C-alpha cells in the first residue's frame, strides 16, 4: 500500500514561506527532508518548484500548475491534484516506492490534506513574518507518533520533528 504524506516546516504562527523562500535556515531540517523523500515521488505547486529553482535529485518531481502551457523537461507537469496523485502512484508502483510526499505550497497542502495518511512536520519554535501559511491540522483526526526536540546551534532556533498518522478520514 502506498502512503501519502505531507511534509512541511512551519513556524509557531504557521508561516511556511515569505517571498518564495523559507524564512529560516535549518540545515538539519533540509537533511531530514532529503532523507525522507529520497527515491520517492514528490508533489509540489509551481511556485514551490520555482522557489527551489531546480528538480530535486533522486526524486520524481511532479509540478501542479493551472498554466496549460507550462512545461519542464525534467519534471512531470500536471494540471490538478488528482492527476498529480495518479502520476505519483504510477511512479511509486513501477519503482517500488511505498511513499508519496506532498511538499507544498500552501494551496497544494489544502488540496492534499484529505488524502494524507501521515504528516511529517518540523515545528519551528518561533514566529516569523510571511506570506504563505500552513492551515492547522484538525488534531482530532491525527495521532502523534513521535516528537524529537532539537536546537539549531548556529541560529539559536529550536525546532521539533513531529510525525502524525491519521486516525480518521
The string of pLDDT tens digits covering residues 128-149 is 999 999 998 998 999 999 999 9
Nearest to 63 by CA among 50, 81, 80, 76: 76
Structural domain range at position 136: 3-166
Beta strand ranges found along the chain (DSSP E): 3-11, 15-17, 41-45, 60-64, 76-78, 99-104, 118-124, 132-133, 142-151, 158-166
Per residue in 26-77, pLDDT (tens digit) is: 999 999 999 999 999 999 999 999 999 999 999 999 999 999 999 999 999 9
Its pTM stands at 0.95
- HSE-up of 157 (CA within 13 Å, CB side)? 21
Which residue bears the cell 497542502? 109
Q: Tally the domains of the chain.
A: 1
Distance (Å, rounded) from C-alpha 93 to C-alpha 134? 29
At 169 the pLDDT is: 62
Distance (Å, rounded) from C-alpha 97 to C-alpha 79? 23
At 168 the pLDDT is: 73
Residue 111: which CATH number? 3.40.430.10
Task: Name which of 56-60, 151-155, 156-160 the model is least confident about.
Answer: 151-155
CA angle at residue 21 from 20 to 24, to 5 degrees?
Answer: 155
Amino acid at each position: 500500500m502506498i502512503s501519502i504524506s505531507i511534509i512541511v516546516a512551519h513556524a509557531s504562527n504557521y508561516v511556511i514561506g515569505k517571498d518564495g523562500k523559507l524564512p529560516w535556515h535549518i540545515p538539519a531540517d533540509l537533511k531530514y527532508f532529503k532523507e525522507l523523500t529520497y527515491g520517492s515521488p514528490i508533489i509540489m505547486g509551481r511556485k514551490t518548484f520555482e522557489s527551489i529553482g531546480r528538480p530535486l535529485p533522486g526524486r520524481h518531481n511532479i509540478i501542479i500548475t493551472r498554466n496549460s502551457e507550462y512545461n519542464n523537461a525534467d519534471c512531470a507537469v500536471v494540471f490538478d491534484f488528482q492527476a498529480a496523485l495518479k502520476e505519483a502512484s504510477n511512479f511509486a508502483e513501477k519503482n517500488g516506492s511505498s511513499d508519496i510526499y506532498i511538499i507544498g505550497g500552501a494551496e497544494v497542502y489544502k488540496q492534499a490534506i484529505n488524502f494524507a495518511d501521515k504528516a511529517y512536520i518540523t515545528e519551528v519554535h518561533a514566529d516569523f513574518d510571511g506570506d504563505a501559511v500552513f492551515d492547522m491540522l484538525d488534531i482530532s483526526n491525527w495521532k502523534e507518533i513521535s516528537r524529537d526536540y532539537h536546537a539549531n546551534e548556529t541560529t539559536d532556533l529550536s525546532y521539533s520533528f513531529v510525525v502524525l498518522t491519521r486516525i480518521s478520514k
